Structure 1
Amino acid sequence: MVEMDPTNRIGQGTPSPPEPPDGYGEPRLFEYSTPVLLIASIPLFLLAAYGFGWLLWQIQGPEVFAALFGVTETGDSTVIVLDLIDVGLPLVAALFVTVVVHELIHGTVMRYYGQDVTYGVHPAMGSFYAAAFGQFQRREQLFPIGLAPLVSITVVATPLLAVPVPVIAVTAYLVLLVNTTGAVGDLYVVWRLQRMPEGTLLYDVDLRHMYVFEPLDVEE
């Protein structure tokens, strides 16, 4: 059973959750731990950068980077110039895949489980979102919902590292890098979910407030 901080109980100014379903205890507020997410994102980024970068290098060789970097010999020095256009376009494409397609995959799996999905943009957080507001979601359903974008995009983008067109291969690499690092929040939720009892329900009131309802008949 998850131990939640008592300060996470419902307080003044916090949107109210619905009444607990039969057989469930009082709701508790689920919150992301910003320090944990920031710390976890660093090794996740390094692992993705090295792992997929090594794979790209093994498949394509150093030639794949020739389209991105210009090398100029000036006397006793070597100047390496990054082509912002050639790098910028793949990066924009990678961000689009991560921000938009990532959330579309979340929403597709939610719909598979019969949930009404709301898509939108949260300017303050600088992100798109897919959410099932005002609906109970079973813990067991949230595992595939949370992991689907990471798994799906990785499966599709990894073979593209072998495409003999540098801009496509590099774009695929950036997609893998951004998507894997950006999945830190999904991985955090999955980690928290696996510590909760089977049958636990979660309920999103809005983007910042999710409640956890644990069954009363859980064996201690």
Structure 2
Amino acid sequence: MVETDSTVRTERETPSPPAPPEGYDEPKLFEYPTLMLLLVSIPLFLFTAYGFGWLLWQIQGPEVFATLFSVTETEDSTVVVLDMIDVGLPLVVALFVTVVVHELIHGTVMHYYGQDVTYGVNPAMGAFYAAAFGQFQRREQLFPIGLAPLVSIAVVATPFLAVPVSSIAVTAYMVVVINTTGAVGDLYVVWRLRRMPEGTLLYDVDLRHMYVFEPLDVGA
């Protein structure tokens, strides 16, 4: 096989995993199915937006949305006008909570398990991250690590839907919707982990390369 420049460059850019620990098989690259996750995130967003929107409506009544937009009806049409300030501020706060607090919770749980956590921002991926680079992580630890932001942010934010201040209630609504939709990757990891044998190890080389080490004596 003749190696082209692109082949050599790809091989150089793909970091190698460590040698498998004693009793473990050779590592396998863990990959995210980006297109599938994007498609799954759409119904997840719609379901969450509708479900929590219905809950917000039941608690606050339709007047909670009155500060966000106005509706003007004429003989010929109905015009809906969004207030960009009242919509934009809750959205910015919700994005901050989702992007930053979400990863801080990941990192807190990692630290609880004794892992050295690296926080950072990757502009190319548009992501703030918390990761335990260069460390083996046990499958059983990754369940709480993966689910902690989804569960804890939902538990904390949901009661704020009942706060009788529309801007706060709407911000909480956006937090829950954005955080739940953004957790689709975490949910995928948890789903994959459930299909792996107990004792499986995961190893992050960098943001794009995660390897799976499965024990050799599975089913023995």
- Fold conserved between structures, TM > 0.5: yes
User: What is the rounded CA distance, in whole Å, between the counterparts of 2:97 and 2:79 in structure 1?
Assistant: 33
**Residue aligned with 1:187, SS:** helix
- List alignment gaps of at least 5 residues for structure 1: 1-10
User: What is the rounded CA distance, in whole Å, between the counterparts of 1:179 and 1:99 in structure 2?
Assistant: 8
Q: Give the % identical residues.
A: 84
User: What is the rounded CA distance, in whole Å, between the counterparts of 1:30 and 1:71 in structure 2?
Assistant: 49
In structure 2, the partner of 1:90 is: 90
**Residue aligned with 1:81, SS:** strand
In structure 2, the partner of 1:41 is: 41
- List alignment gaps of at least 5 residues for structure 2: 1-9
Q: How far has the Cα of 1:127 moved from its partner?
A: 1.0
In structure 2, the partner of 1:192 is: 192
- 1:124-203 → structure 2 map (5 Å cutoff): 124-203=124-203
Residues 146-202 of structure 1, C-alpha deviations (whole Å, 9 max, x = no match): 000000000000000000000000000000110000000000000111000000000
**Residue aligned with 1:12, SS:** helix
Moved more, 33-42 or 93-102: 33-42
**Residue aligned with 2:153, SS:** helix
In structure 1, the partner of 2:26 is: 26
**Residue aligned with 2:72, SS:** strand
Q: How far has the Cα of 1:23 moved from its partner?
A: 0.5
Cα root mean square deviation, aligned: 1.2
Q: How far has the Cα of 1:76 moved from its partner?
A: 4.4
Q: How far has the Cα of 1:77 moved from its partner?
A: 3.4
| Amino acid corresponding to residue 40 of structure 1 in structure 2 | V
**Residue aligned with 1:71, SS:** strand
Moved more, 11-20 or 204-213: 11-20
| Amino acid corresponding to residue 124 of structure 1 in structure 2 | A
- 1:8-87 → structure 2 map (5 Å cutoff): 12-13=11-12, 14-87=14-87
Residues 95-153 of structure 1, C-alpha deviations (whole Å, 9 max, x = no match): 00000000000000000000000000010111100000000000000000000000000
**Residue aligned with 1:67, SS:** coil
Moved more, 153-162 or 67-76: 67-76
Q: How many residues are matched?
A: 210
| Amino acid corresponding to residue 46 of structure 2 in structure 1 | L
User: What is the rounded CA distance, in whole Å, between the counterparts of 1:123 and 1:77 in structure 2?
Assistant: 43
In the superposition, the TM-score normalised over structure 1's length comes to 0.93
User: What is the rounded CA distance, in whole Å, between the counterparts of 1:185 and 1:73 in structure 2?
Assistant: 42
Q: How far has the Cα of 1:42 moved from its partner?
A: 1.0
| Amino acid corresponding to residue 88 of structure 1 in structure 2 | G
| Amino acid corresponding to residue 187 of structure 2 in structure 1 | L
Residues 17-46 of structure 1, C-alpha deviations (whole Å, 9 max, x = no match): 111111001111111011210111011101
Residues 66-116 of structure 1, C-alpha deviations (whole Å, 9 max, x = no match): 010122344543322110110000000000000000000000000000000
User: What is the rounded CA distance, in whole Å, between the counterparts of 2:212 and 2:59 in structure 1?
Assistant: 46
User: What is the rounded CA distance, in whole Å, between the counterparts of 1:69 and 1:212 in structure 2?
Assistant: 49
In structure 2, the partner of 1:3 is: none
In the superposition, the TM-score normalised over structure 2's length comes to 0.93
User: What is the rounded CA distance, in whole Å, between the counterparts of 2:52 and 2:100 in structure 1?
Assistant: 22
**Residue aligned with 2:212, SS:** strand
